[in-house]
Amino acid sequence: MCVAMLPATCPLGRPHALGQLRAAAWPRRNLPAWSCSKQVRRGAVAARAALDPDNASILVAGGGGVALEVTRRLKDMGAWVWQLQRSDSRRAEIEGMMAIVVRGNAMSPDDVAKAFSQIEQVDAVVSTIGGTPADPTADSQGNINLIEAAARSGVKRFVLVTSIGTGDSKDAPPAQVYDILKPVLLEKEKAEQRLKEIGSDMEWTVVRPGGLKNEPGTGHGVLTESRDVCGAISREDVAELVVKALFSDNAANKVLAAVDAGQLYGEPKYEPFGL
């Protein structure tokens, strides 16, 4: 059972051809990343203080609700989005959002490298990949494969979604919850550490949500640098915060907890993080 699978009451879970068809049908200003010179495009992105969501090329890795909600929001903002998937089970839903499915397993460095090779230039990566206490390897190695490939590919920003209880937030969740999730949280910590180590090559943000809920978003999700805060939050609200952090200069190289201000565990003192 991972964080995302805890009960709601818990205080804390292109192919080129397709791209070319879409490009032909869309206005010139929305041409995909691979239609532009890599050198020119990288210079244009580097000249800006932050990513521009309109026409940014973003790879979203993860098959669950948060990843799908992130993709939905990015498409609504005008970004070009590829979603890494191990199977075709969600293809119809993803392509219905006008995003592109890239088949591959994050646990395979070759699959990850192939995913990046299918996109002319990836500006940003968002990863929500995770495992379970019985098999938490994806939380570390799956994410590390993505992190290292992103750095090699010149990605500008990487947002890694982990969990409250990871690293220096170990004491935030109740002890019994931490004990259940310990195998997962220790693997997530390895991925966080690798992202920080490689941070000189790209900006990064770690978002640590509390207990994930399937209920509609409340709009009360907040980010904070507090390592003591704990609580629940809907997947929709997590996705909203992740997307905001992705395009925020203030969130660069920060580790941020994500909770619903109305669903906190206890009465922790914290300062909302300003994006």
10-residue stretch averages of pLDDT, the chain, 275 residues long: 40 36 32 34 40 92 94 96 95 96 96 95 96 94 97 96 98 96 97 92 95 96 97 98 97 97 92 93
Q: Please state, in angstroms and rounded to a whole number, the distance separating the CA atoms of residues 83 and 67.
A: 8
Q: Please state, in angstroms and rounded to a whole number, the distance separating the CA atoms of residues 73 and 162.
A: 20
CATH superfamily, domain 3-13+53-260, is: NAD(P)-binding Rossmann-like Domain (3.40.50.720)
**pLDDT at residue 27, as a whole number:** 33
**pLDDT at residue 244, as a whole number:** 97
**pLDDT at residue 50, as a whole number:** 62
Instruction: Domain ranges for the chain, please list them.
Output: 3-13+53-260
- Could you give phi then psi for residue 169, rounded to 5 degrees? -105, 20
Grouping H, G, I as helix, E, B as strand and the rest as coil, residue 120 is coil
- Tokens 């669903």 map to which residue? 263
**pLDDT at residue 195, as a whole number:** 97
What's the chain's Rg over C-alpha atoms?
A: 18
Q: Hey, what are 127's tokens?
A: 């990863």
**pLDDT at residue 41, as a whole number:** 37
Q: Please state, in angstroms and rounded to a whole number, the distance separating the CA atoms of residues 252 and 17.
A: 34
Find out whether 71 and 97 touch, Cβ atoms under 8 Å: yes
- As separate numbers, helices (DSSP H) first and strands (DSSP E) second, the chain gives 9, 10
Residue 211 pairs with which residues in a beta bridge?
232
**pLDDT at residue 200, as a whole number:** 76
